[in-house]
Chains A and B, each alone.
Chain A
Amino acid sequence: MFTAFHLAFKEIWRNRARFLLFGLVVALITLLILFIAALGEGLGSGNREYLQKLNGELIVYQDTARLSIAASLVGCDTRASVRSVEGVQDEGPIGFSSATVVVDGTPSLDVSLIGVAPGQPGEPPSIQGAGLARKSARETVIDRTVALLTGARVGDTVTIRTVQGGEDEFYTLQVVGISESRKYSIRPSIFVPIVAWDEIRAKARPGAGAEDPACNVVAVKLEDPSQIDVVRQRIQERVNGVEAVDRETAYENTPGYTAQQSTLNTQNGFALLIGVLVIGGFFQIQTLQKVPQIGMLKAIGTPNSVVALAVLIQIIVTTLVGVAIGGLSSFGLSLLMPPGIPIIFEPRSSATAILSILLMGPIGGLVSIRYSLRVEPLIALGLG
Chain B
Amino acid sequence: MAIALEARSVVKQYQVGSGTVTAVDEVSFTLERGEFVALVGPSGSGKTTMLAMLAGLLQPTSGSIAIDGQELFGMKESARAEFRRRKIGFTFQANNLVPYLTALENVDLLLRLNGQYNAAGKRRAKELLILLGLEERLNVLPRQLSGGQQQRVAIARSLINQPALMLSDEPTASLDTERAYQVVETLASLVHEQGNAGVMVTHDLRMVDYADRIIQMVDGRLGQIVTPKDDLSCLSDPNAAACRMITAEELGYAEAGAA
Contacts and interface: CB of A to CB of B under 8 A. Distances in A.
Contact of A380 (B83, B95, B99): B95
Interface size bucket, A side? Answer: 20 to 34
Interface string A7-24: 100110111000000000
Given A3-B109, A6-B112, A296-B96, A383 B48 contact: yes
Given A293-B95, A381-B52, A300 B85 contact: yes
A-side binding surface: helix, strand, loop or mixed? helix
Contacts of A297: 98
Nearest to B100: A14
B95 A3 contact: no
A302 B158 CA distance: 13
B22 to A, nearest CB: 16
Contact of A300 (B49, B105, B110): B110
Given A292-B95, A296-B92, A383-B52, A11 B81 contact: no
Nearest to B98: A293
Interface in B27-83: 48-49, 51-52, 55, 57-58, 78, 81-83
B199 to A, nearest CB: 13
B3 to A, nearest CB: 22
Interface string B92-114: 11111011110001000110110
A223 B169 CA distance: 87
Given A10-B100, A10-B105, A381 B57 contact: yes
Contact of A3 (B49, B78, B86, B113): B113
Contact of B99 (A2, A293, A295): A293
The residue in B81, B82, B95, B141 that gathers the most chain A C-beta atoms within 10 A of its C-beta is B95
A159 B33 CA distance: 101
B111 to A, nearest CB: 10
Given A293-B95, A382-B48, A11 B100 contact: yes
A15 B92 CA distance: 24
A4 to B, nearest CB: 10
A117 to B, nearest CB: 72
Nearest to B94: A292
A10 B101 contact: yes
B90 interface: yes
Interface in A9-49: 10-11, 13-15
Given A300-B90, A381-B51, A383-B58, A2 B112 contact: yes
Interface of A: 2-3, 6-7, 10-11, 13-15, 292-293, 295-304, 306, 377-378, 380-383
5 contacts: A6-B112, A13-B100, A300-B157, A381-B51, A381-B169
Given A297-B98, A303-B81, 9 more contacts: A10-B101, A292-B95, A302-B85, A303-B78, A377-B57, A381-B51, A381-B92, A383-B57, A383-B58
